Structure 1
Amino acid sequence: MLRHLSLGMNLLAIVLFVPGIVLPMFALKSEMGAWFGQGRLTAALVDKELSILQTVQELWQDDRLLVAALIFFFSVAIPVVKTLLVSLAWYWHKLSKGQTLAAWIAAIGKWSMADVFVVAIFLAVLSTDHAETTTTQAVNLFGLRIDFEISSATLSTLGPGFYYFVGYCLLSLAASQLLQFSLARQQGHR
């Protein structure tokens, strides 16, 4: 029964994983404004929503290859491989290789927490929420002093991909732990 529950949780985790890497993980908006007298000028500096896959693609295009590769490896490749291995261990439950595989999955479980680390990185990026700076400047133009303020504001918000990915992380971890427990209990009854 526990083994079947772990398979169901694993399948549900994959269902959450796909939108988790495709839907926007966060939105980042940054604008700059200048005020002088009654006049106001504003300009959007950044206005984008990025998913995990879009982030990897953008980093790759910006020649930040190591960061792109690490995010892809820990947020896409490892979760897919781990899910496939958990499914194989479930299928081979009566064979010694199924139990060996479940033990190996448990051993690499620490590495599977790297996907949670990636989410933590996104949260760190989002910690800039509502960061605002304002400076007052003065310009002397032909003996006329013009005072103006320049400000910039950054607003970041979580996107739906973040919640799907967190759901995937938690379900995947629970499914692999439940499968390991189920197979260990099955082996103990022999």
Structure 2
Amino acid sequence: MKKSIKIILYSVLSVILGCMVFFGVKAYDQAILYEKATTELVSYQDAGQQASLQLEKFAKSLLGDLYEDEQKINLDKIREKQTKAMLQAQENTIYFMVLLGVILILSLLGSLRTFTLFGSLSATVTLILGLITPILMVTIHKEVEYLGDIVLSFESKGVIGSIVKLYESGDIIVAIVILLFSVLVPGLKVLSLLFVSIFMESKFAHSIIKFFKMIGKWSMVDVFVVAVFLVYLTANKGDVSRAEVEVGLYFFLAYVIVSMFVSLSADKMLSANKSIY
């Protein structure tokens, strides 16, 4: 590839990567806003608040339009904020995924090294977002006579936060397994991909081929662990009324897919240049 074309391609890919990070951060912010709005909404559904709500409904039935239902007004505002945050989180996640696909496709126009470099950078960003963004929202509620729908328990779970909580609650083995296969191994994998793409010519890069292939063998373990993770979190609650998947899960799954393709690219790249040394 000519140097001028390579510079242009790298510049375009860098700009797209920056835009991808921008939409990723916005998706994260909106996901957190959705989590906060849902938490605020749930706070109105405990037994005390529902009792108060029933009294207000009774007062309104007696006074009619003379009674202003402030709680209902607040709930409507929170629901509007919640819906808006959810839609924007999903919208920004879609933009992120589209740009991620564009980076991978454009990288194919360059060399294996180009694909490995920008693929590993994209995988790193995607992994970070997958780890810090909420992936599951679990709500347990029950219909109580005279009070209505009462929320007994609510949690919005991300990978990092859940690891900490599992550890603190005494589920140390589960916490360690998730930490190992959902944080440490994926992090080590993307760092090794990034390293070999930058220092491809160095002898040290070729000396870690065996280690790199060993890490590659765990490509599907992170998917398996997240699947087990989700089942564990829902089953651990026993009576789950609702389990809602959040955008963080899509980031993590996107990382797994991208890292698999980049792993293949890096392996071919190193094998093609092995004869030099």
Q: TM-score, normalised by structure 1?
A: 0.76
Query: Please, which of 64, 67, 92 is the counterpart of residue 171 of structure 2?
Result: 64
SS in 2 for 1:43: strand
Tell whether the 8 Å contact from 2:178 to 2:229 is kept in structure 1 after alignment. no
User: Higher strand share goes to which structure?
Assistant: 1
Distance in 1, matches of 2:203 and 2:276, equals 14
Higher relative CO (Cα under 8 Å, sequence separation at least 6) belongs to 1
Query: Please, which of 215, 225, 231 is the counterpart of residue 124 of structure 1?
Result: 231
Let me know the Cα RMSD of the aligned residues: 2.4
CA deviation map 1:106-145 (0-9, x unaligned): 12322243211122124535887xx98xxxxxxxxxxxxx
SS in 1 for 2:217: helix
User: Which residue of structure 2 aligns with residue 10 of structure 1?
Assistant: 120
- 2:267 aligned with 1:184: no
CA deviation map 1:54-80 (0-9, x unaligned): 110110110111111111111111111
Percent identity of equivalent pairs? 25
SS in 1 for 2:241: strand
Tell whether the 8 Å contact from 2:143 to 2:150 is kept in structure 1 after alignment. yes
User: Which residue of structure 2 aligns with residue 138 of structure 1?
Assistant: none
Q: 1:74 to 1:113 in 2, by over 3 A?
A: same
Tell whether the 8 Å contact from 1:24 to 1:49 is kept in structure 2 after alignment. yes
* Count of matched residue positions in the alignment of Structure 1 and Structure 2: 165
Shift of 1:91: 2.7
CA deviation map 1:156-187 (0-9, x unaligned): 11111100111111111211211111121233
User: Which residue of structure 1 aligns with residue 134 of structure 2?
Assistant: 24
Q: TM-score, normalised by structure 2?
A: 0.54
User: Which residue of structure 1 aligns with residue 201 of structure 2?
Assistant: 94
Q: Which runs of 5+ in 1 are unaligned?
A: 133-152
Tell whether the 8 Å contact from 1:102 to 1:179 is kept in structure 2 after alignment. no
User: Which residue of structure 2 aligns with residue 161 of structure 1?
Assistant: 248
Q: Which runs of 5+ in 2 are unaligned?
A: 1-110
User: Which residue of structure 2 aligns with residue 49 of structure 1?
Assistant: 156
User: Higher helix share goes to which structure?
Assistant: 2
1:59 is matched by which residue type in structure 2? L
Q: Please identify runs of 4+ aligned residues in structure 1 that moved more than 4 A.
A: 125-128
SS in 1 for 2:242: strand
